[in-house]
Amino acid sequence: MTRIARITLATSTALALLGAMHTSAVARAASNPGGGLICYNYPTVAADGKVTYTRVCFKRP
Amino acid sequence: MQRLLPTLALLAALQAVAAPAPALPAEGSAQLELDISLGHESSSSPLVRVSDSGALVAVPGLSRLAGTVGRASVNASAEGVLTGDLRWTATGVVDARPSRDAPGLGFQLGLADGALRWPLAGGTLGLGPSVLALSVGGRAFRQTAAMHLDWMRAPTEGLVQVWRIDLARHRHAADFSDLDAEVVAPSCNWQWAEPGLGLSKLDLGWGLRSERNRQGLPELSNRGAHLLGELGWDALGTAWSLNLMLQRTVFAAAVSPDLPARRDTLVAVDLSAQWRLAEHLDLRASVGTARNRARPWLYENRHSHAELGLSAHW
């Protein structure tokens, strides 16, 4: 791969991934894991037996 | 078999320390969320040209993409009991963000994730595979196959802690195949509900990441760390959320002898407001900006967005 091709490749990758990560508020507030975060619902049970689901978000690997 | 026996022995040892087992829902459940929105995004980066001698030359001005971006996403998750304390979970996501004004901003994502969960040491342990496909600018970009191991516990009321490690392999479309890589990414998330000080939520996360290029290109291998924070509060009949992300990435080598090895520092901030319209329907507005400072400068970029959308959930 040529030097210029490598530079272009790395630059375009940075742009693509930056555009893909911007919506962290959306990912957390709603359902979208597209913003660089992936959100999962974890079930937990309170002392009174009530089941609640906690949304926990992680950055995509 | 030589690998299987130690694995089974390890699982048996882990099971032995499973007590006290946390209570888990006796029945399965499912959740579905639909999201649509319309917004504006812009992304800019330095302009560069190559001189006749092959040197990189900065051109005044910026390369800029901007336009209206629509968005539609579906997130479905379900869980159930396999046998005894052993449970299964599944998550599926489709997310599409087309842009007629600036097709280069277009982004599509598909995710399928499954896991088995069982009680362990006062929490629950999850292990499972995931596959993810990304398309950027209307072209297939990346497919990721990963295994993840996580441990979740709720040590006190209102606090949830999750430790997680992902082992992932990225494969790319032909034009980007030099980016193929393997990633190891441990991370952690602590989340408090009603932590005081008028907050409805406090969420802190951090993680490390090591990416090894599979084509033997050290200039594309990198290590990084990130911090995530979210503050949530209710005011004026609105649920507010302020998010911050800091990320540092250091690449293993320079792309050429006359340039330094790349180092990125990314700061992203966004703010969202959400209003409950009906039992299963919310209206949401959000604005945000992200800036990547880099060495060398040609990797610097900015991204900003504003959007208004509806979210339905069952």
Tens of pLDDT along A10-44? 555 554 454 444 333 333 333 333 347 878 888 77
At B49 the pLDDT is 62
Chain A residues with beta carbon closer than 8 angstroms to that of B219: 6, 10
Amino acid, single-letter form, for residue B117: R
Is A8 in CB contact (< 8 Å) with chain B?
A: no
Taking the model in full, what pTM does it have?
0.80
Residue positions counted in chain A: 61
The residue that leads in pLDDT, B1 or A4, is: A4
Is B39 in CB contact (< 8 Å) with chain A?
A: no
Other C-beta atoms closer than 10 Å to the C-beta of B288 total 23
Position B19 confidence tier, pLDDT thresholds 50, 70, 90? very low
Chain A residues with beta carbon closer than 8 angstroms to that of B209: 59, 61
For residue range B193-220, list pLDDT tens digits in order: 989 999 999 999 999 999 999 989 898 8
Position B50 confidence tier, pLDDT thresholds 50, 70, 90? low
Helix (H, G, I), strand (E, B) or coil at B252: coil
Helix (H, G, I), strand (E, B) or coil at B243: strand
At B314 the pLDDT is 87
Helix (H, G, I), strand (E, B) or coil at B106: coil
Least confident of B16-30, B61-75, B178-192, B243-257: B16-30
Is A59 in CB contact (< 8 Å) with chain B?
A: yes
Chain A residues with beta carbon closer than 8 angstroms to that of B191: 54, 56
* pLDDT of B2 higher than 60: no
Q: Tell me the average pLDDT across B82-105.
A: 88
At B129 the pLDDT is 97
Mind telling me how many Å the CA of B197 is from chain A's nearest CA?
20
Provide the percentage of residues in chain B whose pLDDT is more than 90.
46
Is A15 in CB contact (< 8 Å) with chain B?
A: yes
For residue range B225-246, list pLDDT tens digits in order: 999 999 999 999 999 999 998 9
Cβ separation B217–A56 shorter than 8 A: no
Q: Name residue, tokens 């009174």.
A: A48
Nearest CB neighbour to A11, from listed B109, B243, B299: B299
- Summary mean pLDDT of chain B: 85
Other C-beta atoms closer than 10 Å to the C-beta of B257 total 6
* Interface size, chain A vs chain B, as Cβ–Cβ contacts under 8 Å: 214
At B240 the pLDDT is 95
Chain A residues with beta carbon closer than 8 angstroms to that of B284: 26, 29-30
